Amino acid sequence: MPSDSKHDAWSMGDSYEHYMGRWSRKIASSYLEWLKPPAQVDWLEIGCGTGALTNAILAKADPKSVLATDQSEDFVKHAQKEIADPRAAFGQAQAQNLPAADASVDVVTSALVLNFVPERPAALHEIQRVLRPGGLLSFYVWDYPGGGMGFIDAFWTAAAEVDPAATELNESARFPFCTRSGLRDLCSEAGLAQPEVAPIEIATVFPDFEAFWKPFTMGAGPAPGFCGSLDPDHRDALKAALARQLDSGGEISLPARAWAARANI
């Protein structure tokens, strides 16, 4: 199953914020509580998106500096515009080719990104290149295979009813390594001894079904990218299938769980 899909739409920061960024902010905060990083050190972030984790690092981790990078020019511009902090710098970069010298940062982190990187082992080697000896490598990904991203799971279940081709676009099928053992295996393949892997959980709460549905129509991210590719009849059928599945007259609350890994080099 390929890591990338033509529906992985990484642009339109405001739409992404509505779809995922607001939950990214919530989990970034819980992640840092788990990570307990050292203060006054140099950070590099891979795949900063609209800046959810960048913001949390600046607010909670007392960094000396943060270089936030993403492959998407659009997202980098969005994050740069939102975050005015002299400790933060931004750059457009691929995970496999980081804009930092050898042994130049103390912590490299990445939020909800590594599953979208096709060359994951290369990225983990690149991270180790830029880390200082003893530096901290840490990342987290949604627990797609364990049904740990409830609202996305619900979307793809309904999408498969309307278009069987959606089955293979479901992140749970695309990213089978997003499990506790998958993260451990990935880390050991990259030569990282004894990584710690832990679940981080939040709740995603929507006041009603219309609020649940709207972000899927806004274009940013894999599920909204797929939704936007449907003709109006199929989109209506998908919405109806999703409403039937959730069977909600009011608030919709679904769990979201990520697996986080950390290892010192």
Residues at the interface with ligand SAM (CB under 6 A): 10, 20-21, 24, 46-49, 52-53, 70-72, 75, 94-95, 111-113, 116-117
Q: Name the residue nearer to ligand SAM (CB basis): 72 or 138.
A: 72
Q: Name the residue nearer to ligand SAM (CB basis): 152 or 162.
A: 152
Which residue pairs, CB below 8 angstroms and at least 24 apart, start in 173-177?
Answer: 173/1, 174/1, 174/2, 174/3, 174/5, 174/115, 174/144, 175/3, 175/115, 175/141, 175/144, 175/145, 176/1, 176/145, 177/115, 177/120
Nearest approach in angstroms of CB 231 to ligand SAM is: 26
Q: Name the residue nearer to ligand SAM (CB basis): 120 or 239.
A: 120
Locate 63 and state its tokens.
């960094």
Q: Name the residue nearer to ligand SAM (CB basis): 97 or 245.
A: 97
Nearest approach in angstroms of CB 82 to ligand SAM is: 12
Q: What is the DSSP letter of 37?
A: P
Q: Name the residue nearer to ligand SAM (CB basis): 41 or 141.
A: 141
Q: Among residues 237, 260, 224, which one has the least CA distance to residue 16?
A: 224
- Residue 119 burial (C-beta neighbours within 10 Å; 0-12, 13-18, 19+): middle
Nearest approach in angstroms of CB 193 to ligand SAM is: 25
Task: Name the one residue in this structure whose structure tokens are 């990935």.
Answer: 186
Locate 221 and state its tokens.
């991210």
Q: Which residue is nearest to ligand SAM (CB)?
A: 49
Nearest approach in angstroms of CB 48 to ligand SAM is: 6
Does residue 54 contact residue 48 with C-beta atoms inside 8 Å?
yes
Nearest approach in angstroms of CB 112 to ligand SAM is: 4
Locate 201 and state its tokens.
């959980």
